[in-house]
Structure 1
Amino acid sequence: MTTKRKMTAMLLALTLATGSLAACSSGNNNPPANNGGTTNGPAESGGSSDAKDTITALLPPVSPAYQENFKQMEEEFNKLYPNLTLKIEPASWEDMTQKLDTQVNAGSPPDLAFIGSDGISKYAQMDMLMDIKDLVTPEMVSDFDEAPLEYMKNGDGLYGFPAYMEVHAIGGNKQYMEEAGIDWKSVQENGWTYDEFREAIKSGTVQQDGNTRYGFVFATAGVASKDYLAILVKNAGMPSPFTEDLKYAYTSKNYLDVLKAIRQMIDDGSMPKELSSVDAGKRWNMFLTGQTMITGKGLAVFENSANKNNEKLKAGDGSAVADSIEVDYIVLPMPSFGDHDPVSYAVVDGYVAFRGKKEPTDEHKANVVKAAYFLASGNVAATTNSDLFAAHITKSGREAAASIESNRNPDNVAAVERMLEHAAPARPDIPVELGAQAIKVENETVIPRLQALLAGEITPEVMYEDVKKAAIAAFGEDGVVQD
């Protein structure tokens, strides 16, 4: 890791250390129950017009009670701004992208949509995003921690406000790991190599009454289809799809090493042969019912979900997951490959501003910014992020969350803090065109080939060559890593 990258990652970690250091994903979770209301403190104005206006927002279930609070959120926003109406359209994680793309392609997207910051380049290239850098007030900007706000930028533009900062990790069943002889505290503190991890999940694979308890299960189907590979490659010398000199990185031989590892873990029997059909819900059910020792991707919210299911089991509550067991959820880092430094997959999702084919008025733009800030700060952010065990990344959110109790395992808090020290920094330097091309290569080649690899239909070498061909076609011979 270069000195510059280390300094950036350390700054990122220090910036977030005052929050509850974990986060939700872009949706592949089973988040916990509601923690209360959503009233925000005063948002900065950004405009003085009293004309009536409606701001639309397309929002997925960021936390389980998030969508239940939509009516209250709309009412609270209207109390702050009596002339403004916040109209929220709910979407599931599964159909969020399809809904948004349909509206974007029709030229009438919502004013705000909750998306991952890695999707900004896709919509910016389509000229459907609204740059809000000249619309936000200094008070709004100063409320946010610097590191996560960087993720909402591309080039010189700022396209929204972050909701949380997330570290994609894995999570283990404490009892099962100790039975397998795994020193999970050492792993939390010092990390582990791929070889160490591979042996650990072999040890954790147990035959019980004719059934297999796997050492490791990762969701690889549906909305989670790209996560597994994207997280692994960061720990193999590829912290970003592009190097610092803007060459596409996934043509490196390091990429092939990761693809080989993916097949090894299945062929070892440490992961199910049917891994390509395991979606987010199934992998969490497998974890809670004792069918796997370690699960992924592991999100901070999973600890809260496991705790709540444990409470239901103790109380004899019939709404507990069927056939589930009590689980002490332990946060673990991803393994690193070879002599490469560990790099955590830090993800920032948030409220991104869109524009239609028709240029919105200055007053409407200012109102969209008010709505985005309302959703990303104060009590709305505090309630949502506390539900998720996620980092509070605004001063107003931290203040609002001070009275919300948490039962997080301090070992897990410390583990996430360490992972943030190795987090990949934001890359606003990647041009929109390159970012959009990388997404196209991912959707058209990487994800389909990964599914074929997981199913045993192609070899790692075939997938590597296919990705390399697609990358060269997209970026040219000189635009990709050749090692």
Structure 2
Amino acid sequence: MNELRKSLIALLTALVLVIVTACGSNAGNGGESGSGSTSESTNTGSAEAAKDTITVWTYPVYETYEADLKVLVDDFMKEHPNLTVKTEMLSWAEGPQKFDVALNAGNPPDLYFHAVDGAYASSGLELPIDSYLTPEIKNDYYPGTLELAQVQGVQYGLPLYQFQWGWGGNKRLLEEAGIDWQKIQKEGWTWSEFKAAAAKLTKKLPDGSTQYALTTDGTSLDFIELLTRNNGMPDALDENGKLQWNDNRILDTMTFIQDLMKSGYMPKETAALAPKKRTEMFYAGQTALISKAIPYYDVMIQNRNKDIDAGKVQGEKIDFVLLPVPHNDNAPAKAMMGAEGYLMFKQKKDQGEEHAKNAFLVMEALSGAKAGMASNQLVLPFVRDSQAKEFAGKELGQPANIEASKVMATTMQMPITLKLDNDTSAKMKQFKEQVVKPNMQALFAGEKTPDAILQDFVSKGKLIVGK
């Protein structure tokens, strides 16, 4: 009987070990695999520390980011042989929806690449990381950069880089028109100065087509957001949630846009232009300036020029010039900037504090010194001192554009969305999508006047925002 009891105990013990091992192998699966590419790095090293799996969902931040990310993950795995890091590369088009589905189901990945968002924080699954930040990490970030990944003062992410939105120029066309683009990069320019330049940049080409001074797309809100920021309004609402786009400042901004359209400085078909078409016009020399432009255009256009030399692409080579957005003559220049990086989440079936600590270790590895390759590729200011040192002398952007990006960073204004609660942020998004977007297309098309649009903003703003 004793022998039978011993056999049963041994059998039960073995079964428990099998179950524990199986459960451990599924830890942190971050949802089912989607349409993006997936890679998994695994080490079977030391058994002293508990094994764990950390999932990372990210995007092709730049052309070679997937390959560069794999190097970072492999290096991390060598230093932490008890951890498995599973990465999935999402598409920009479908990734956000895939993540939202996973979050709503209570099974997000451990780490997700995105700007901080109040909606994520209110889900109850996004993890604040203040308790994991060491003095060394805090001191490594440049002043004001960590704050770009906070919501109402709570740290929810580690910035990988500071994104910038500006305008871009064709150096040849600017110089042919006598525009001192180097001065503009250093000192900025006013709306009056831009109008004077636009008159010189707009002309008929030999084939009968028009070279426009400026082209933007009519399908997004980037243009109005860039201009209002440079007219004393950082966003549609202020930091107290009060509607801002309801006074003479928004009227002046829309009147400025209307004047550009009436003067022929922008294409009359702007309302129907998609971002791709705007870029095609820039490449074809049909517009001297584009809005919005990001510093990464510098590297992208350098690569395009190489393809033209190699016979892979047809067209004229372009020297890209990064320019600040002009500001109202009576308002200071303000750059549209923010941060994107990694955010940390738990699942509905919380895996505990040790798992969260492991996720933060991965988060820091993907945001550290060598991760500065993102800022370097995107021609953006580094967010950490260690990153700047790591890539000193290896900059990919043209020196003038690198310096222009730094100058723009000095005029950065903290995004209003970081100071609003989730409900107020949602109201602002609703106001922009339902009221601002159709009115901007009507303004571009000449179907509504700035005064009529202002009345719409005031009346519908009260209904949606409430103040």
Measured against the shorter chain, the TM-score band is 0.7 to 0.9
Change (3 A) 1:235 1:108: same
Q: Which residue type is aligned with residue 413 of structure 1?
A: I
Partner of 1:419: 408
Given the alignment, which residue of 126, 141, 145 partners 1:129? Answer: 126
1:91-240 to structure 2, matched below 5 A, reads 91-117=90-116, 120-208=117-205, 209-221=207-219, 225-240=220-235
Cα deviations across residues 63-96 of structure 1 (Å, max 9, x unaligned)? 1111344444443332232222222222222333
Q: 1:244 to 1:103 in 2, by over 3 A?
A: closer
SS at match of 1:250: coil
Q: CA deviation at 1:407?
A: 5.2
Retained in 1: the 8 A contact 2:323–2:404? yes
Conservation of the 8 A alpha-carbon contact between 1:164 and 1:350: yes
For 2:57, give the aligned amino acid.
L
Listed one character per residue, the Cα deviations across residues 110-150 of structure 1 (whole Å, up to 9, x for unaligned) are 22222224xx1132233342111113333332322231110
Report the CA distance shift for 1:52/1:475 in structure 2 as closer, same or farther (over 3 A): same
Q: Is structure 2 residue 307 aligned with structure 1 residue 297?
A: no
- Residue in 1 aligned with 2:346? 355
Match among 335, 345, 354 for residue 336 of structure 2: 345
Q: What is the number of equivalent residue pairs in this alignment?
A: 419
Could you tell me whether the CA contact under 8 Å between 2:72 and 2:365 is conserved in 1?
A: no
Per-residue displacement from partner, 1:326-356 (whole Å, max 9, x unpaired)? 2222221111124111111122111122334
Opposite residue 371 of structure 1, the aligned amino acid is V
Give distance in 2, aligned partners of 1:375 and 1:405. 20
Structure of higher RCO (CA pairs closer than 8 Å, 6+ residues apart): 1
Contact 1:378 1:396 in 2 (8 A): yes
The 5 A counterparts of 1:351-390 are 351-379=342-370, 381-390=371-380
Identity %: 31
Pairwise CA distance, 1:188: 2.2
Give the partner amino acid of 1:141: K
**How far apart, in 2, do the equivalents of 1:89 and 1:400 lie?**
26
Partner of 1:398: 388
C-alpha distance 73-413 of structure 1, shift in aligned 2 (>3 A): closer
State the secondary structure of the residue aligned to 2:145.
Answer: helix
2:311 paired residue number: 318
- One-letter code of the match for 2:92? W
Within 1, Cα distance between the matches of 2:151 and 2:454? 29
Aligned letter for 1:239? P
Following the alignment from structure 2 to structure 1, what is the Cα–Cα distance between the partners of residues 48 and 360? 14
Structure 1 residue 180 displacement after superposition = 1.7
Root mean square deviation of aligned Cα = 2.6
Rounded to whole Å, the distance in 1 between the matches of 2:280 and 2:330 is 35
What is the aligned partner in structure 1 of residue 21 from structure 2? Answer: none
Matched to 1:391, the amino acid is: P
In 2, the alpha carbon distance for the partners of 1:122 and 1:406 equals: 36
CA distance in 2, matches of 1:86, 1:438: 37
Does the 8 A contact of 2:377 with 2:396 survive in 1?
no
Q: CA deviation at 1:458?
A: 4.0
Over 3 Å counting, the alpha-carbon distance change for 1:338 and 1:206 in structure 2 is same
Where structure 2 has 5 or more consecutive residues not aligned to the other structure, the ranges are 1-46
Confirm or deny: 8 A CA contact 1:344 1:420 kept in the other structure: yes
Q: 2:216·2:223 contact (CA, 8 Å) conserved in 1? A: yes
Equivalent residues of 2:167, 2:291 under 8 A apart = yes
Aligned to 1:147, what secondary structure does the other structure show? coil
**Segment of structure 1 superposing worse, 55-64 or 430-439:** 430-439
How far did residue 152 of structure 1 move? 0.7
Q: How far apart are the structure 2 equivalents of 1:356 and 1:409?
A: 44
Of residues 362-371 and 352-361 in structure 1, the stretch that sits farther from structure 2 once superposed is 352-361
Correspondence for 1:434 among 398, 418, 424: 424
Deviation at 1:457, TM superposition (A): 4.6
Query: In terms of Rg, which structure is larger?
Result: 2
What does residue 308 of structure 1 align with? 303
Q: Are positions 1:258 and 2:259 aligned together?
A: no
2 CA distance for matches of 1:378 and 1:369? 16
Determine whether 1:333 maps to 2:324. yes
Instruction: Give the structure 1 partner of residue 437 of structure 2.
Output: 447
Structure 1 position 233, deviation (Å): 0.7
| Cα distance between partner residues in 2 of 1:67 and 1:329 | 26
1:361 Cα deviation after fit = 1.2
Separation (CA, whole Å) in 2 of partners of 1:280 and 1:72: 33
